[in-house]
Chain A
Amino acid sequence: MQAVASFKRWLFRLYGPEAAPIVLNQRRVYVLPTRAGLVYAAALGLMLIGAINYNLSLGYALIFLLTGLGLVALLHTFRNLVQMEISPGRVESVFAGDMAHFDLQLLNRRKQGRFAISFKLEGGRAVSTDLSADATTTIGLPLPTRRRGWLHPGRVTLETRYPLCLVRAWSYVEPDMRCLVYPRPEASAPPLPLSATGESGGARSGKGTEDFSGLRTHQPADSPRHVAWKAVAREQPLLTKQFTGASAVQVWLDWNELPPDLDIEARLSRLTRWLIDAHAQGLAYGLSLPGRKVPLGQGARQFQDCLEALALHGG
């Protein structure tokens, strides 16, 4: 297997992440007949025997035209892929277990479109798209996540059988991109340990319409309870209401306060759940991990910092 893998690396020139833009030049687009193409060739062989046997001159002409069609299909399929330009696009962080989406920017400089090109990450589902003439198209490649930390998508396999399904052209690219995967939030975690925080004031006083401090753009992690539905009704984009105030509750999410029988991942998982809850409730929170401490804070930036600390813990 090792030998096969290294042979493949040599054959297809796979040398790790590449600088953008990645141009698919002719040396890195490979073409081979598909199974349908082989059947097509076999059918032509049979037809040729028939034409010879019955001396069908027009039969010869038909078979030779179809042979030419096969060769032309080879080049059309090749052309459908060659000279496409690929650059890495946006990648949003996700929680482990969710689907990560790696966006690719596909630039087609040609005056004709490109059609039915499928993209696939190893371990992910294939996504197919058309590229309009002389335009950039964005496509998101899904990849299921399992573990927290940096997720490198690895090789993208680009493939097309357009137009006649007889030939497959493919290429491998390795865009330089990665996705930060946060720990999976624990599903049934104990409630937020407000008692353990030594805060001043009641937990509930942090909430309330009088403490409304403003709107910001909606993030996937925001609780639907804080979506500014009135703004949605006015056909504005999704916004999240933010709450602050002097009376905000402070929570310390401390690794060491967790029950000792939990392992590392379970601890991170629980802390993530609490972090989400604390953020959703608009509390001020801090995070304390062995070797890393995020001071008390609030808001999206604080949330990101904490999640990142959790995702990269021990890494």
Chain B
Amino acid sequence: MAAKRESPRLARIQELWLLACAVLTLAPDAEHAPAWLTAAVGMTLAWRGAIWWRTATLPPRWLLTFLVAAGSAGIFLTYRQFFGKDPGVALLILFLALKLLELRSVRDGLAVIFLCYFLLLTHFLNAQGIEVAGLAMAALVAITAALASLGHAGRSAVEHLRLSALMLAQAAPFMLVLFLLFPRVQGPLWGLPVDAYSGMSGLSDAMSPGSISNLSLSGEIAFRVRFEGEIPPKHILYWRGPVLRLFDGRTWRAGAQQEKVSPPDTATSGAIRYAITLEPHNKHWLFALEMPDVPPPGAIISREYQVLAKTPVRSRMRYEMRSHPDFVSGADESGASLRSNMNLSANNPRTRALAEQWRRESGDQEAVIRRMLDHFRQESFFYTLTPPLLGENSIDQFLFDTRRGFCEHFASAFVFAMRAAGIPARIVTGYQGGEHNPVDDYLIVRQSDAHAWAEVWLEGKGWLRVDPTAAVAPNRIEAGLASAVPAGEPLPFLVRTDISWLRQIRFRWEAVNNSWNQWVLGYTPQRQREVLSRLGMREPDWKAMTAVMAALCGFLLLGLTAWALHKRVRLDPTVRAWNRLSRKLARIGLARRDWEGPADYAHRVALARPELTQPMAAIAALYIDLRYGRLNGKEPRQRLRGLIADMEIAVPR
């Protein structure tokens, strides 16, 4: 409709709004963007601020072109590509910063606003917690206020902010409807670049001295568990993760995994049922209490009783499990698979010698195991988060010299010694324990609960769990990490148990967080179908969802339209009747003029149409009495309406 027109220039106040928005949106990116980009963007913002302050001229176009080229080249050199999450975000940051340098017209301003909205979205790639949502909401109000300022430079900041908040509040019901009903698609739509899931923490399938103690410094949540019924005692809460059996003298690694062929033996009593909400860790394995029987859909259970998903866990995942704590696996195992749990590396001669000696001295294998655990218990071994660094013969050094270590040191030394003594043994990593949140009754398992223990295979019995850490620091198992390590060690703040009111607040916060995760972040296509069928939609396919969504949005729009039309000032009924008279007379070209009083109007009509003199005079007199005189009430008003309705006007053809 509109011809192409020059976009109006920005007022100074509008420029200030846009600058403030850009700063607000770019600030959180400083944490993740490459350092040089952060510095460059900071300098650009400062430069643009100075230009604004002094009302100087903007840099010429060739300089901007150069800056775009240089920045893009820098991003390419940093990431070696332009596609993918991190380079994409970096390019957006660059474009927003440089767009500020050619901020002249309202159209440029709109581009800045849209870039800000887009960048706001990319912040969710790093975190999606409640606090992130809150900050994003605040930024959204500000950006929308800036957009409103583009629509009208003359209004005050408070008015823009109020309007922005009002509009977003009115938009919220739409968001709710769309969020619930928009047919969800399980991403990704195409193969994601390799860097898509960088920055997820958790256990790995290799363990060397220090890897678990490092992880223990993190208070991040690994997964949450809701049990059907009572939470089992702590010494049962061994959450099985990667099983490691290959050793190169320093690092333990997992071997190739095979799916367990035979159905699980579920003859044991006392099965525990629970549901786990696993935080994404970009690895295949799922965690389960020892020992799981049936894998969740899309996963398998390996011969080593690891639960493995078919694809890496890249978004929060909820699955239900059943475990049998009394079940002992591997009674039927033999041959090659056992031999792979006997391999020893060539080094650590002193440990080998000691193990050989124990084997000769002890009657059976169980005695060797006891001997080893007693050794840990009776000699001066220390359980610490900050063990000394170990050299090439790490197990020798730990067992005979330093004697200070974390669970991976104890498990590693134990398994090595068992193998040296001729007993098949392997390392199991995972988590141990967890914290009960009384507010929502979930068990929270953190990275700081990461643990490593051992399994030994005994003829006729199968794989038995042995936790050498329990021999040294029984508290670790019974009461958690905080009570097991000496005071003064750098524990994650959230794991400390000594401040009770803080714990209370934390429990509450985590309960809120958990519902947030379950309902907002964990609203997957599957969850959507569950929720919708519980809400009464019989077949929630995408057609039905779209139809309901469109209908609800239509209702909301109708409501808003009513709001847009409703707030008119109701006219006085007398005035309405008077206006009707004017409309009626307009048919013969005698509409009342704006400035015309009732008496003048009656006079003019009488001059033009003498036959209307009588009724016009009566109507005008009544109107004057009603509006300006003492006459009031329903009856004379009705009389006025009647007179106007009865007046007969001959319309010329």
Q: A49-B189, A62-B136, A163-B151 are in contact. Are A69 and B171 (CB under 8 A)?
A: yes
Contact indicator B560/A75 (Cβ below 8 Å): yes
> Could you say which residues of chain B place their CB within 8 Å of the CB of A47?
117-118, 121
In this complex, which of A39, A43, A49, A134 has the most chain B Cβ atoms within 10 angstroms of its Cβ?
Answer: A43
Contact indicator B569/A67 (Cβ below 8 Å): no
Contact indicator B121/A56 (Cβ below 8 Å): yes
Contact indicator B148/A164 (Cβ below 8 Å): yes
Residues of B within 8 A of A (CB-CB), count:
71
> Chain A residue with minimal CB distance to B111?
A39
**Interchain nearest-CB distance for A122 vs B (Å):** 12
Q: A75-B564, A163-B167 are in contact. Are A62 and B128 (CB under 8 A)?
A: no
Q: A54-B85, A162-B151, A168-B2 are in contact. Are A39 and B110 (CB under 8 A)?
A: yes
Contact indicator B110/A105 (Cβ below 8 Å): no
Name B594's contact: one of A21, A64, A165 (CB within 8 Å): A21
- Residues 136 to 187 of chain B near chain A (Cβ within 8 Å): 136, 140, 144, 147-148, 150-152, 154-155, 163, 167-168, 170-175, 178-179, 182, 184-187
Q: A65-B168, A68-B178, A164-B147 are in contact. Are A56 and B185 (CB under 8 A)?
A: no
Contact indicator A83/B187 (Cβ below 8 Å): no
Contact indicator B117/A43 (Cβ below 8 Å): yes
The CA of A82 and the CA of B564, in the complex, are separated in Å by 8
Q: Name 4 extra pairs, CB < 8 A, besides A40-B114, A59-B124.
A: A21-B594, A55-B524, A69-B171, A72-B560
23 example contacts (A-B, Cβ-Cβ < 8 A) are as follows A43-B118, A49-B189, A53-B188, A54-B85, A54-B125, A55-B314, A57-B522, A57-B523, A59-B121, A62-B121, A62-B140, A64-B174, A67-B171, A68-B175, A69-B171, A71-B553, A72-B560, A110-B568, A111-B569, A130-B154, A163-B167, A164-B150, A168-B1
Contact indicator B147/A67 (Cβ below 8 Å): no
Interface flags for A67-94 (1: CB within 8 Å of B; 0: not) read: 1110111011011001100010000000
**B196 CB-CB contact with A under 8 Å:** yes
Interface flags for B193-208 (1: CB within 8 Å of A; 0: not) read: 0001000000000000
Name A116's contact: one of B152, B163, B190, B569 (CB within 8 Å): B152
The CA of A40 and the CA of B174, in the complex, are separated in Å by 17
- Residues 556 to 575 of chain B near chain A (Cβ within 8 Å): 556-557, 560-561, 563-565, 567-569
Contact indicator A165/B192 (Cβ below 8 Å): no
Name A60's contact: one of B117, B182, B189, B196 (CB within 8 Å): B182
> Chain B residue with minimal CB distance to A80?
B564
> Could you say which residues of chain A place their CB within 8 Å of the CB of B188?
52-55
The CA of A72 and the CA of B140, in the complex, are separated in Å by 15
Contact indicator A71/B586 (Cβ below 8 Å): no
> Could you say which residues of chain B place their CB within 8 Å of the CB of A71?
171, 174, 553, 556-557, 560
**Interchain nearest-CB distance for A52 vs B (Å):** 5
Q: A67-B178, A68-B178, A161-B151 are in contact. Are A62 and B124 (CB under 8 A)?
A: yes
Contact indicator B179/A163 (Cβ below 8 Å): no
The CA of A80 and the CA of B121, in the complex, are separated in Å by 30
Q: A64-B174, A165-B147 are in contact. Are A52 and B189 (CB under 8 A)?
A: yes
Shortest beta-carbon contacts, A-B, top 4: A68-B174, A68-B171, A79-B564, A64-B178
**A115 CB-CB contact with B under 8 Å:** yes
**A63 CB-CB contact with B under 8 Å:** yes
Name A69's contact: one of B144, B314, B560 (CB within 8 Å): B144
Contact indicator A36/B118 (Cβ below 8 Å): no
> Could you say which residues of chain B place their CB within 8 Å of the CB of A73?
167
**Interchain nearest-CB distance for A3 vs B (Å):** 17
**A61 CB-CB contact with B under 8 Å:** yes
> Could you say which residues of chain A place their CB within 8 Å of the CB of B564?
75-76, 78-79, 82
**A232 CB-CB contact with B under 8 Å:** no
In this complex, which of B151, B179, B586 has the most chain A Cβ atoms within 10 angstroms of its Cβ?
Answer: B151
**A314 CB-CB contact with B under 8 Å:** no
> Could you say which residues of chain B place their CB within 8 Å of the CB of A63?
121
> Chain A residue with minimal CB distance to B579?
A21
Interface flags for B105-123 (1: CB within 8 Å of A; 0: not) read: 0110010001001101110
Q: A32-B1, A60-B182 are in contact. Are A65 and B167 (CB under 8 A)?
A: no
The CA of A163 and the CA of B567, in the complex, are separated in Å by 18
> Could you say which residues of chain A place their CB within 8 Å of the CB of B174?
64-65, 67-68, 71-72
- Residues 16 to 62 of chain A near chain B (Cβ within 8 Å): 19-21, 26, 32, 36, 39-40, 43, 46-47, 49-62
The CA of A103 and the CA of B23, in the complex, are separated in Å by 45
**A112 CB-CB contact with B under 8 Å:** yes
Q: A54-B188, A56-B121, A61-B179 are in contact. Are A68 and B110 (CB under 8 A)?
A: no
In this complex, which of A32, A134, A165 has the most chain B Cβ atoms within 10 angstroms of its Cβ?
Answer: A165
The CA of A24 and the CA of B281, in the complex, are separated in Å by 59
Q: Which residues of A contact B (CB under 8 A)?
A: 19-21, 26, 32, 36, 39-40, 43, 46-47, 49-69, 71-73, 75-76, 78-79, 82-83, 87, 105, 109-112, 115-116, 130, 134, 159, 161-165, 168, 170
The CA of A77 and the CA of B479, in the complex, are separated in Å by 62
> Could you say which residues of chain B place their CB within 8 Å of the CB of A21?
594
Contact indicator A65/B150 (Cβ below 8 Å): no
Contact indicator A165/B150 (Cβ below 8 Å): yes
**B132 CB-CB contact with A under 8 Å:** yes
Contact indicator B151/A62 (Cβ below 8 Å): no
The CA of A46 and the CA of B189, in the complex, are separated in Å by 13
> Chain B residue with minimal CB distance to A79?
B564
**Interchain nearest-CB distance for B13 vs A (Å):** 15
In this complex, which of B120, B121, B147, B583 has the most chain A Cβ atoms within 10 angstroms of its Cβ?
Answer: B121
**Interchain nearest-CB distance for A45 vs B (Å):** 12
Name A162's contact: one of B1, B152, B569 (CB within 8 Å): B152
**B367 CB-CB contact with A under 8 Å:** no
> Chain A residue with minimal CB distance to B585?
A19
> Could you say which residues of chain A place their CB within 8 Å of the CB of B173?
68
The CA of A56 and the CA of B567, in the complex, are separated in Å by 39
Contact indicator A76/B167 (Cβ below 8 Å): yes
**Interchain nearest-CB distance for B430 vs A (Å):** 26
Contact indicator B118/A52 (Cβ below 8 Å): no
In this complex, which of A57, A60, A164, A165 has the most chain B Cβ atoms within 10 angstroms of its Cβ?
Answer: A57
> Chain A residue with minimal CB distance to B85?
A54
In this complex, which of A19, A79, A116, A163 has the most chain B Cβ atoms within 10 angstroms of its Cβ?
Answer: A163
**B133 CB-CB contact with A under 8 Å:** yes
> Chain B residue with minimal CB distance to A126?
B5
> Could you say which residues of chain A place their CB within 8 Å of the CB of B1?
32, 168, 170
The CA of A19 and the CA of B579, in the complex, are separated in Å by 12
> Could you say which residues of chain A place their CB within 8 Å of the CB of B144?
69, 164
Contact indicator A19/B586 (Cβ below 8 Å): yes
**B521 CB-CB contact with A under 8 Å:** yes
**B483 CB-CB contact with A under 8 Å:** no
**Interchain nearest-CB distance for B512 vs A (Å):** 15
**Interchain nearest-CB distance for A206 vs B (Å):** 39
Q: A53-B189, A59-B121, A134-B569 are in contact. Are A65 and B171 (CB under 8 A)?
A: yes
The CA of A26 and the CA of B563, in the complex, are separated in Å by 13
> Could you say which residues of chain A place their CB within 8 Å of the CB of B122?
50
The CA of A164 and the CA of B117, in the complex, are separated in Å by 14
> Could you say which residues of chain A place their CB within 8 Å of the CB of B569?
109-111, 134
Q: A39-B114, A65-B175, A170-B1 are in contact. Are A87 and B520 (CB under 8 A)?
A: no
**Interchain nearest-CB distance for B532 vs A (Å):** 16
> Chain B residue with minimal CB distance to A134?
B569
> Could you say which residues of chain A place their CB within 8 Å of the CB of B24?
none
Contact indicator B175/A61 (Cβ below 8 Å): yes
The CA of A163 and the CA of B144, in the complex, are separated in Å by 10
Contact indicator A20/B594 (Cβ below 8 Å): yes
> Chain A residue with minimal CB distance to B519?
A57
The CA of A46 and the CA of B125, in the complex, are separated in Å by 15
**Interchain nearest-CB distance for B318 vs A (Å):** 13
> Could you say which residues of chain B place their CB within 8 Å of the CB of A26?
561, 565
The CA of A7 and the CA of B586, in the complex, are separated in Å by 27
The CA of A68 and the CA of B537, in the complex, are separated in Å by 24
Q: A19-B591, A56-B124, A72-B167 are in contact. Are A36 and B107 (CB under 8 A)?
A: yes
Name A64's contact: one of B167, B175, B563, B583 (CB within 8 Å): B175
